[in-house]
Chains A and B, each alone.
Chain A
Amino acid sequence: MNNGLRKVAVIGAAGFVGQFVCRRLAESGWQVYGAASERNSFLLDHLKIPAASGRYPVVVNLAYPTSVTPVRRKAENSAIVERISSLLAPGGTLLHTSTLAVFGFQLDRPVACGPIHWRPDADYVETKVRMELTLAEEFGGSHRVEIVRLGNVWGQGSPNWLVGLAVRLRDGLPVLVKGGQHSNVTEVQNVAAYLNHLANLSSSPTAGVRFHHLAEFSSVPWDPFVQMIAAKLGVDIQTAETPVAQPLKSLIVGTYVGETYKFLNRQRICGSLMRQALSMLPKTMVGSVRQSKKSLGKAMGDDETYYTVMGCSREFCSSTVPGWQPPVDLGTSLAGAAKWLEHAGFVTNIVG
């Protein structure tokens, strides 16, 4: 293979998934170049990879908007698309990671492996759907675009689903949710392996868009994950009730205005319309709204999001290219996570 074809740029290289992806690609013989946000681009030297500049035959995008304010997410999406445009060589391959959340927080829409149309939805979902559609439209005609929707990314150092669960268990907060049947989990090492596999298929790219789903442990409930952590930490497991819809009382005119705003903002239809209206206001005005409603931009409270995911009764089945097998099985994944909890200081591991 031509050496030039083995160059890959990873956007979001300094992040949790990014570090695994960069290592996997490098092990596989790729010359890896990293792109990270301005704040933490200096962390690329930890990975011992150079900063990306120029054009690359393969670009992996792991970046996503992180702003808590819905109005800003649109702009962040645009910045990511611009970054991809600046790095992707003509006719090259784009590997974009998306999320199961494009189907809604509770997977309450048909989970099909293909393009989905934009629709008004909760702001986080909207942002992700918009990104998929924009990339398909912008690059699909002239590049090979692989959109990989990820399940709940678990694994060594996973901020949400390993550290998050461990912290909740440590603090005695409810972890398991009654009614939750599917963890819809994917192991981060399998994510890295799958993206590497797709990158390796790029020697004869064909323009077009393909969708993939990766959640190889989708059918496994959360129980074994939680039980492993609880056993490691030596704590009991608290179980929560299935999450219920927000009471309508917060919509009654005359109640606390902020609560009403929050309620509207997190709703799928009216919240979307409100965000659309906000995005059309002059920038100076949006700035002042953002300032005054800073804490309300988060579409869902932490606990609410958490319980919704943990209480999921729908399965997000994997759909990957034929012949690919995840290299890390559940037992290995759990053992690795258990070891990592010691490494990260969740349990006493000092030898004095």
Chain B
Amino acid sequence: MSNSAIAQSVGIIGCGAVVQEYYTVVLPKICAVRIHAVADLNPENARIVASVTGGAVLSAKELVQCCNWVLITTPPEAHAELAAEALTAGANVVVEKPFVTSSFEARRLAELAKHLGRVLHVAQFRRFFPPTELARQLLQTGIIGSIQRLEMFEGARFNWSTQSGYVGRSRFGGVLFDTGAHTVDQCLYAAGWDAIEPRIIVESVLRDKTEPSHEIDCRFILEGAHQSIFCRLFMSRVQTLANVIRVIGSHGELEFDCSYQGGVRIRIQGDLIRLAPQHTMASPTEAFLAEYHEIFAKPGNARTAAHRMIGQMTILEALHRHE
């Protein structure tokens, strides 16, 4: 199958909330995409998405054989196996976040895709949020000097309707892998550390309960690119937090909102400068659309390519394992 096929035949494995709320809205707006088939262990979910998209309801095994792009949107434990099957069957693959459950799986899949000449992306749509992109551009200028510390705070009462309920049952359904996969990714992307595979030294992890936890507070050190960066990650799905990512440099600090709205604040020698992105978004769906436009326009070269997600998986895995 060719990467440059004009009408991409897309199959979706996993027809839960994210597909019903985002994918069915966004994909029809991309003219080079035709949803050919859908699959879900829950036949009712598959039927709902099929009726909206016009795709046929198939099993996952049948689907990977007849689509040149496969989107995997199941709970995270199933990602690695399904992605490997789809790549081996000759399809290009987009995996919903969190990518997989270990850095080993992430590296193996990225290498498999490369070996087979296929494209593998991870749907980290927050990389397209205007404040995140603006923060990345500003940090690239070296405005706050060399990065010394990273702080990530994201929390709100959970209000997402999952179809599978994995957020309350799966070991990887806790706030770390669920929301943290976004926050850590935004932070690494903005700080220019997303293509680095860092070494991580975990200092402490406090969680409200065993995984899947609803609140987690982590302190760790990232080593890479001849640097050591002290990091704090505090995530909650039971209380509202500041919802910011803060990058502290040798000359000042830069803070940006985790949301698709908001902006960037820079503090240098006591002076506060507020910057608003030139391009704003009315809803997160716009970021979804931008992400998939880029994936289909620049397969393999888009900012969501899987090889840029391995560092993120290294961090999540280490924090998840730390008791």
Chain A residues in contact with chain B, CB under 8 A? 14-16, 19, 38-40, 42-43, 45-46, 157, 159, 163, 166, 170-172, 234-235, 344-346, 348, 350, 352
Q: List 11 A-B contacts (CB under 8 A).
A: A16-B240, A43-B157, A45-B168, A46-B209, A46-B214, A171-B274, A344-B240, A345-B151, A345-B241, A345-B242, A352-B230
B237 touches A39 (CB 8 A): no
A350 touches B238 (CB 8 A): no
Q: Does any Cβ of A come within 8 Å of B97's Cβ?
A: no
A348 touches B248 (CB 8 A): yes
Q: How far is the CB of A328 from chain B (nearest CB, A)?
A: 18
B232 touches A350 (CB 8 A): yes
Q: How far is the CB of B161 from chain A (nearest CB, A)?
A: 5
Looking at chain B, what size class is its interface with the partner chain? 35 or more
Q: A15-B157, A345-B241 are in contact. Are A350 and B214 (CB under 8 A)?
A: no
The one of B156, B165, B215, B230 that contacts A350, using a Cβ cutoff of 8 Å: B230
Q: Does any Cβ of A come within 8 Å of B47's Cβ?
A: no
Q: Does any Cβ of A come within 8 Å of B300's Cβ?
A: no
Q: A42-B167, A352-B148 are in contact. Are A171 and B214 (CB under 8 A)?
A: no
Residues of B within 8 A of A352 (CB): 148-149, 230
Question: How many angstroms from the CA of A234 to the CA of B242 in the assembled complex?
Answer: 15
A43 touches B272 (CB 8 A): no
B158 touches A43 (CB 8 A): yes
Residues of B within 8 A of A157 (CB): 239-240
Interface residues of B in 90-149 (CB under 8 A from A): 148-149
B209 touches A14 (CB 8 A): no
Q: How far is the CB of A90 from chain B (nearest CB, A)?
A: 33
Q: A46-B208, A348-B248 are in contact. Are A39 and B168 (CB under 8 A)?
A: no
Chain B residues in contact with chain A, CB under 8 A? 148-149, 151, 153, 155-161, 165, 167-168, 208-209, 214-215, 230, 232, 234, 237-242, 244, 246, 248, 253, 262-263, 265, 267, 270, 272, 274
Residues of B within 8 A of A166 (CB): 242
Residues of B within 8 A of A159 (CB): 156-157, 240
A344 touches B148 (CB 8 A): no
B272 touches A234 (CB 8 A): yes
Question: How many angstroms from the CA of A157 to the CA of B246 in the assembled complex?
Answer: 20
Q: How far is the CB of A22 from chain B (nearest CB, A)?
A: 12
B158 touches A40 (CB 8 A): yes
Residues of B within 8 A of A15 (CB): 157
Residues of B within 8 A of A348 (CB): 151, 246, 248, 253
Residues of B within 8 A of A16 (CB): 157, 239-240
A42 touches B165 (CB 8 A): yes
Minimum CB distance partner of B246 in chain A: A348
